[in-house]
């Protein structure tokens, strides 16, 4: 039986087990599994389903379209969507019972207008910028935001179901920004409560803080990358057992021997110094394999590491087969769980000087996802 050119095999059992382990680690608090960007490349609906099975009480997405796709696929549990632009379809969010984020008074007004059309209150989670300097209401505007939200809540237009924030350095436990953000968040909560708000959900922790910082856990944690089995901590360390869910595999397309002194791939950035048997891997940056890993990253065949030689092209790259004598069609593991000596997404991230998030999320639509379930349940 021949294997496909390439596929990303996603083990939903790993997602389920990672979520269960993370939730146990935080003492059974609510857990919002972040499934934005097609579940970090693992498949939106499949990742969401496995997360729910593992005990995720909430799902988090960036875009309302992602939330609505989950509803269309039959997910009926709590979902928060947090990134909007003017003209956002808040009516559709209310209709679909999706919680939305608000960062500004103007957004609250837009949400409130949609609620009056819908004839029922919108569920809103107010986001405060406690130091990330990205999304969320600034600390300066926060008193106005919570005062306005309180008025709209008393008018029956919205229900403030949550107050939340996001960390700048959750993956660096000793970073001084963490302590400052924890304190700023506590203050922002006090300001919100003084304005009459009583949010049921209070959350701050991304994966890094979920793994390392109990003072950030509040009522709920909001992990993303760790759901997929990758740790954002230095060296991929994790106090919680995590198993990478995605394995990127290709079929070896060609085996041939090049003489000594032969250039390999565009620009001849690699030249053989002896007669070399090479293999052609039919994946490239058109599939999301980072060109920055040219001449640096490894793949594996039967657990044996093989270095990439020469530039990674749009559709293909070349590896030095060394003493390995594979057949065309054999499985080339680009990255995966790493248990058999194969590279991990973390290894690729180091080679390409990026983070594992980008390695898995950028695997493109030309690579089919195949979902498997190695669980016994």
Ligand X SMILES: *Cc1c(COP(=O)(O)O)cnc(C)c1O
The catalytic residue positions are 36, 266
For residue 183, give every residue at least 6 positions away whose Cβ sits within 8 Å of its Cβ, in sequence order, or none: none
Among 125, 161, 207, 356, binds ligand X (CB under 6 A): 207
Among 64, 158, 220, 225, binds ligand X (CB under 6 A): 225
Site size toward ligand X, by CB under 6 A: 12
Q: Note whether 61 binds ligand X by CB under 6 A.
A: no
d(C-alpha 31, C-alpha 11), whole Å: 20
d(C-alpha 42, C-alpha 325), whole Å: 32
Show contacts with ligand X in window 24-43 (CB under 6 A): 34, 36
d(C-alpha 71, C-alpha 142), whole Å: 32
Residue whose C-alpha is closest to residue 219's, from 78, 16, 81, 28 = 28
Shortest Å, Cβ 108 to ligand X: 19
d(C-alpha 375, C-alpha 212), whole Å: 27
- The CA-to-CA distance between both ends of the chain, in Å, stands at 28
Shortest Å, Cβ 55 to ligand X: 16
Q: Note whether 130 binds ligand X by CB under 6 A.
A: no
Residue closer to ligand X, measured from CB, 210 or 265? 210
Tokens representing 82 are: 């947090």
Shortest Å, Cβ 82 to ligand X: 6
Shortest Å, Cβ 304 to ligand X: 32
Contact track, ligand X, 152-171, x by CB under 6 A: --------------x-----
Tokens representing 188 are: 């922002």
Which value, to the nearest 10 degrees, does the dihedral of the CA atoms of residues 141, 170, 220, 32 take?
Answer: 100
**Residue 221 forms beta bridges with which residues?**
31, 205
Shortest Å, Cβ 36 to ligand X: 6
d(C-alpha 287, C-alpha 7), whole Å: 10
Binding piece for ligand X, criterion CB under 6 A, among 8-16, 154-162, 219-227, 341-349: 219-227
Q: Note whether 229 binds ligand X by CB under 6 A.
A: no
For residue 273, give every residue at least 6 positions away whose Cβ sits within 8 Å of its Cβ, in sequence order, or none: 260, 261
Residue closer to ligand X, measured from CB, 160 or 300? 160
Residue closer to ligand X, measured from CB, 59 or 145? 59
Residue ranges in contact with ligand X by CB under 6 A: 34, 36, 82, 166, 206-207, 222-226, 232
């Amino acid at each position: 039986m021949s294997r496909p050119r390439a596929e990303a095999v996603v083990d939903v059992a790993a997602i389920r087990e990672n979520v269960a382990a993370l939730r146990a680690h935080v003492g059974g608090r609510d857990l919002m599994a972040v499934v934005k960007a097609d579940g970090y490349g693992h498949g939106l609906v499949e990742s969401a389903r496995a997360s729910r099975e593992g005990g995720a009480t909430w799902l988090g997405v960036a875009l309302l379209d992602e939330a609505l796709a989950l509803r269309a696929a039959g997910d009926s549990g709590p979902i928060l969507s947090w990134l909007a632009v003017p003209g956002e379809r808040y009516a559709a969010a209310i209709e679909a019972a999706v919680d939305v984020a608000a960062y500004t008074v103007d957004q609250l007004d837009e949400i409130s207008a949609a609620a009056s059309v819908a004839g029922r209150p919108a569920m809103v989670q107010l986001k405060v910028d406690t130091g990330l300097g990205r999304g969320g209401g600034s600390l300066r505007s926060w008193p106005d935001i919570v005062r306005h939200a309180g008025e709209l809540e008393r008018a029956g237009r919205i229900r403030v179901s949550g107050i939340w924030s996001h960390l700048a350095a959750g993956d660096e436990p000793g970073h001084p920004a963490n302590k400052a953000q924890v304190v700023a968040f506590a203050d922002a909560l006090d300001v919100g409560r003084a304005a009459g708000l009583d949010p049921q959900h209070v959350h701050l922790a991304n994966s890094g803080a979920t793994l390392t910082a109990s003072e950030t856990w509040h009522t709920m944690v909001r992990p993303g990358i760790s759901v997929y089995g990758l740790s954002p901590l230095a060296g991929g360390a994790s106090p919680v057992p995590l198993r990478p869910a995605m394995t990127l595999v290709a079929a070896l397309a060609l085996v041939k021997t090049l003489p000594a002194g032969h250039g390999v791939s565009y620009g001849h950035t690699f030249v053989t110094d002896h007669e070399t048997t090479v293999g052609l891997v039919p994946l490239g940056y058109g599939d999301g394999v980072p060109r920055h890993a040219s001449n640096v990253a490894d793949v594996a065949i039967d657990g044996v590491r093989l270095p990439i030689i020469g530039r990674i092209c749009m559709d293909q790259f070349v590896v030095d087969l060394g003493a390995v004598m594979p057949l065309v069609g054999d499985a080339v593991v680009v990255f995966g769980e790493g248990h058999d000596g194969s590279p991990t997404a973390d290894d690729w991230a180091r080679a390409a000087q990026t983070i594992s998030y980008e390695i898995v999320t950028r695997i493109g639509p030309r690579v089919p996802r195949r979902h498997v379930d190695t669980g016994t349940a």
